[in-house]
A = this chain, B = another copy of it.
């Protein structure tokens, strides 16, 4: 393809960036998709990798494999070190890209609200490496409990605190309870995994705040039935390698998982535009950067208001924005200059809690329990990228359902913290 074709640079191969890339498949342009990982990640199932239910490759697919037939795309595994809006230039670690159109979709990471020193003792869950680190830590905790003679110290290895009552926190806590009560039952000789305490801490008044209050209450009841203790209205004020402090009370726990806060990708700060408190870029109603119609920001990095409410940071919203960005750029390249405001269609919300327990809301429809769980299962298998992954995930889940086993219970890599413990 000659160099005179317009160059569209897309930063981030998540739901937003990948959808935008695919929406531009038939556009005569050179597209460069940059991601610091080589894969697209099916983030809604990341907690399953963290809790040893799925292997990492089951929820990830190489970007260049997904896009191999789209000949107008070059995929680069690299990191962005700078964005220069005036000369329309993106600096990567290894090269410089001059763009005509820029789509920024680098998402969000977990945040510790000014307590970055908690990160080492309370890992968050955003990437595959995060998930593998959490898996290692959780599985190692049970191993350490088996090796500890002192009852108080043993119990500290069997106490798990999950901070944050959103979807990720609920999923992690519910699955940890299942692992302790069912998966590991009968496998230890000295420790009793079933005596593990799983504490879910939420600073707000209810879990799953994005859902209807009635569903929040049902989710909490389902969590408690699984054996999770839910503590609401209290914020964690300290985290160290021996536990957490919560409302003045000290809780001994060697394993603390962080699911409480997200902050937008630091790339937002390179865009010379107003940011909200979470670091998201306030965009125009067509997702373009104020004063820069050639730059579109989308997904978790974009702060979009609609009907007085923020568009939520969920996968369907990112995909819709990616679709919109692709259409907008294609239209502009065809000379179409009409206004194209983005409209978010709420496709409903789903959260799983554990085996046969979930909540779902679609418009006015509210589901919970077994039925919601089947809807959750079907939706997640359906949307999982790649035929093979769907098959393997279904197989893993079918086996896990009948046997209560979790096949990915493999400790790999090293964790300095638990190695010392």
Residues 72-114 of A, flagged 1 when their CB comes within 8 A of B and 0 if not, give 0111111000000000000000110000000000000000000
Asked if A147 is an interface residue, CB under 8 A from chain B, the answer is yes
Choice from B77, B139, B186, B395 contacting A143 with Cβ under 8 Å: B77
Determine the distance from Cα of A399 to Cα of B387 in the docked complex, in whole angstroms.
10
**C-beta contact mask, A365-405 vs B, less than 8 Å → 1, else 0?**
00000000000000000000010110110011001000001
Contact call B409/A38, Cβ cutoff below 8 A: yes
B146 near A410 with CB under 8 A, answer: no
One of B62, B140, B392 near A410 (C-beta < 8 A): B62
Choose among B65, B94, B392 the residue that contacts A187 (Cβ–Cβ < 8 A). B65
Return chain B residues, CB-CB under 8 Å to A38. 139-140, 143, 409-411
Is A297 in contact with chain B by the CB < 8 A criterion? no
Name the distance in Å between A98's Cβ and chain B's nearest Cβ: 15
Task: Report how far A189 CA is from B30 CA in the complex, Å.
Answer: 11
A65 vs B392: C-alpha distance when bound (angstroms): 21
What residue of chain B has the Cβ atom nearest to residue A405's Cβ?
Answer: B65
Asked whether A57 lies within 8 Å of B409 as measured between CB atoms, the reply is yes
Q: Which residues of B lie under 8 Å from residue A362 when comparing CB positions?
A: none
- A119 proximal to B (CB < 8 A): no
Query: A186 and B68 in contact (CB under 8 A), knowing A55-B56, A58-B55, A94-B147?
Result: yes
Contact of A189 among B74, B95, B389, B414 (CB under 8 A): B74
Given the complex of chains A and B, what is the CA–CA distance between A279 and B38 in angstroms? Answer: 41
A410 to B62, CA, bound (A): 6
Q: Which residues of B contact A57 (CB under 8 A)?
A: 55, 407-410
> Which residues in window 32-90 of A have CB below 8 A to B?
37-39, 55-58, 60, 62, 64-65, 68-69, 73-78
A300 CA / B290 CA spacing, docked (Å): 67
Within 8 A of B (CB), among A174-209: 186-190
Q: Does A412 contact B (CB under 8 A)?
A: yes
Question: Is A129 positioned at the interface, with any CB of B under 8 Å from its CB?
Answer: yes
Contact between chains at A65 and B409 (CB < 8 Å): yes
Is A301 an interface residue, CB under 8 A from the partner?
no
Q: Are B187 and A128 in contact (CB under 8 A)?
A: no
Kindly state the separation between the CA atoms of A336 and B143 in the bound complex, as whole angstroms.
Answer: 37
The distance in angstroms between the C-alpha atoms of A43 and B139, with both chains bound, is 22
Closest chain B CB from A1 CB (angstroms): 10
The reply on A132 being an interface residue by CB < 8 A is yes
Docked complex Cα distance between A45 and B407 (Å): 17
Q: A408 to B76, alpha carbons, bound, how many Å?
A: 19
Cβ of A240 to closest chain B Cβ, rounded Å: 22
State the Cβ distance, A212 to closest chain B Cβ, in Å.
37
With contact pairs A55-B57, A147-B94 given, residues A128 and B410 touching in the complex (Cβ less than 8 Å): yes
CB of A291 within 8 Å of the partner chain: no
Smallest Cβ distance from A358 to chain B, in angstroms? 24
Q: Does A151 contact B (CB under 8 A)?
A: no
The CA-CA distance from A263 to B37 in the complex, in Å, is 35
Say how far A59's CB is from chain B's closest CB, in angstroms: 9
Say whether, besides A64-B187, A187-B65, A147 and B78 are in contact (CB < 8 Å). yes
Q: In the A-B complex, list the 7 residue pairs whose CB atoms are closest, starting with the nearest.
A: A55-B55, A57-B408, A64-B187, A74-B189, A77-B143, A68-B187, A55-B57
A and B contact pairs by CB, cutoff 8 A, 27 listed: A38-B140, A38-B143, A38-B409, A38-B411, A39-B411, A57-B407, A57-B409, A57-B410, A62-B409, A64-B187, A65-B409, A73-B189, A74-B146, A75-B189, A76-B147, A77-B140, A77-B411, A95-B147, A128-B410, A128-B412, A129-B412, A132-B412, A386-B407, A388-B395, A388-B399, A392-B392, A395-B395
Q: List 17 additional A-B contacts (Cβ < 8 Å) besides A56-B412, A57-B408, A78-B147.
A: A37-B411, A55-B56, A56-B410, A57-B407, A57-B409, A65-B405, A68-B186, A74-B189, A77-B140, A77-B143, A95-B147, A128-B410, A128-B412, A129-B413, A132-B412, A388-B395, A391-B395
